[in-house]
Structures are given as C-alpha cells and as structure tokens.
Amino acid sequence: MATIYNFNPGPAVLPKSVLDRAQKEFQNYPGLGYSIMEASHRGKQVVQIFAETEKKLLSLMGLGDQYRALFLQGGATMQFIQIPMNFLGAGKKADYIDTGMWTSKAIKEGKRYGGVNVLFSGKDANYTALPDLKKLAYSPDAAYTWMCSNNTIFGTQYRELPDVKNPLISDMSSDILSKRLDFGRFGIIFAGAQKNLGPSGVTLVVIRKDLLDRCNPELPELLSYKGQAENDSMVNTPPVFGVYLMGLMLDWIAGEAGGLAAVEKRNEQKAGLLYGAIDGSQGFYKCPVVAKDRSLMNIVFTLPDEDKTALFVKEAEAAGFVNLKGHRSVGGIRASIYNAMPVEGCEKLAAFMAAFAKR
C-alpha cells in the first residue's frame, strides 16, 4: 500500500506508534480485561488515566500545582461562550484581539455576556498580518485579554505574547505543544484536541487555580470551571477514550518525539521546506501572509488560477498527498503540518510542488 500523507487541518494525522498502541489495547486495556471504551468513568482505571494525563500535560508545559487541566466537551468553540459566562457580566468587559475567523466568532459570543473591547482587527487586510502587540491599547480593568495563538484558516501565528496584567487567555487549538513557550504567562489556555493532542471529542482547558474563585457562582456545575475542577472533569460522563488517547499522545511527545525542544525544531524544519518551495517558485506559488507572521502549523498558498489549483489538488491526491484544499472561505491550498506529520511528508510535498510548478 502506498504511503498517504494526511495534511488535514483537523481532525489531523496521529503518530503510527500511538495508533498501534491504541489498537493493541483497544479490546483489553491492561489490568482491566475489557476495553477502556467500556469502562466506568468512576472506576479506578479511568480515574487514574485522567490524573496521569493531567500530570503529564502540566509537566510538559512546565506548570506546577498552581494550574488545573480540565477535560471537557463541546469543542474549543464552546469556550467562546463558556469563558465569558464565567468571567463577564455585571458591567465587566474584556479585551479581544481579532486575527481570524475563530476570534471573530469568540467576539460575537463574548458580546452576549458583557462588554467586549476589540483592540485590533485584521479583517480589512483579510487577516494576513498580526498586530504589533506593544502598540495595542490594553484596558487596565479588563476581566481578561483574549487571543488565538495560531490561525488555521489564514496561516498566521504569534511569535510573542501580549504583556498584560489581567489574565491572558489563548485559543491554542492548532499549535498547543508544538513549540516551547512560557505557559505560565497565561491565565487560561484551551484547545480542541483534534490537531496536536489526539482525536476530536475532547476540549482541553488549562486554568490557573486562582481564577476558579472568580467564576460566576450562579452557573451550573457543568458550565462552571470551578465546578468541573472540583469534580475532576467528571460532572457528567467525560470523553474517556479521547482522554486516554491524549495521554498516549503526551507520552509520544515526551518520549519518541523528543520533547518540546525537538518537536519545535522539527516543526521549523517542516515549515521551512514548504515555505522554501513557495518562495523558490518564481511567483507560481504565493503565500499571502506577511513573512514574520507565517504559521509553522498551517502553510497557506495560492496558485495562478482556479484551474491550476484544482489540478494541483487532484494530482497531489493521486501522488499520496491528501486534504490539501484550502478552507472554503479563502480557497487556495493549505498544508497542515502538526506535530505528527513526519519531515518526510513535507520533503516529498515540497518536491511535488517544485515538479508541478515546473511542469
């Protein structure tokens, strides 16, 4: 069978070794005698998986016991609603930095629960550049500052963080654990698991413990971060299999992948191969993103016309490079190269791109 390189933006490629281990343990989880899919979330094996996954995650992030990791449902999009529900209202407002579709949606939802101050919007420039964070007029009394660290659709990624006194909140769905970062500068980090952390169905929320006491006390436990933390993410039946797979992914990052420093180096190498193919094509391929803001996770580019774009997608798929079509809102091509995409996949795609452009 020919090798397939899956550049899907999410759900995304998973490491073969992780899939192999999950397959091996699928029908008989060690010490259980049956599948983890069939296990009670109140049983000791599942409780242990949740505790160990939280510990592994915080360790990789370099965070201590001042943080909690919650394993929730509803997707990262649910956090667009849940965060303002917990921290806005009663005359409070928050700062938002609009750098793409997901921040735009978050702003819309935030306005339902309190004041929203949009510090910057890249909409008029089609989100092809990020702001100079040092020049933004942050609100000193904001309940939080909201950002999205990597924008999957438009292919931008921050290289620095805002210097704010209020809690910094980041949607890291598409670049969490893809590089080294001072995670201790955040009040809340959230991410859908389906890009770098495992399968769809789990939403990770990492929250600084002191913020739990600021949560709206009128919320039901299911929607309250404090309620979820007090119940160890088990207010209702959690996505057990997804958290189990996240644990395997964290083992892979810390072990086989070599840790965050090695992961970061590989991601830079992979992105460099594809941006090199774009920039070296004498204008046949064009990346619309300002060079300093280019994403290491989602490489977006265009071809001279729609016919060539369609032909590129068709021939790429025949050659084993699948799911390269750009998001429906922007078109073009998008190669998503999350942690589990091997360097070989980017080397071969870059070679295909060069041959296609020459032909």
Q: CB count, 10 Å around CB of 101?
A: 18
171 catalytic per annotation: yes
CA–CA dist 337, 269 (Å, integer): 11
CB-based contact 57:250 (threshold 8 Å): yes
| Active-site residue identified among 95, 98, 102, 175 | 102
* 243 neighbors 256 (Cβ within 8 angstroms): no
CA distance linking residue 351 with residue 359, whole number of Å? 12
Crossing angle of helices 343-358 and 260-279, rounded to 10°? 0
Give me the amino acid identity at 185.
R
CA Rg, the chain, in Å?
21
Q: Which of 56, 95, 146, 195 is catalytic?
A: 195
Helices 343-358 and 306-318, interaxial angle, to 10°?
A: 130
Dihedral of the alpha carbons of 49, 53, 56, 62, in degrees to the nearest 10: -150
Residue 341's nearest CA partner among 357, 324, 325, 319 is 324
* Catalytic residue status for 135: no
Cβ neighbourhood burial of 346 (10 Å; 0-12, 13-18, 19+): buried
Measured CA to CA, the distance from residue 248 to residue 198 in angstroms comes to 8
As beta bridge partners, residue 147 has: 170
DSSP letter, residue 154: T
The one catalytic residue among 171, 175, 293, 325: 171
Backbone dihedral region for residue 36 (phi beyond 0: left; psi -120 to 50: alpha; all else: beta)? alpha
Strands 333-336 and 298-301: antiparallel
What are the residue numbers of the active site?
102, 171, 195
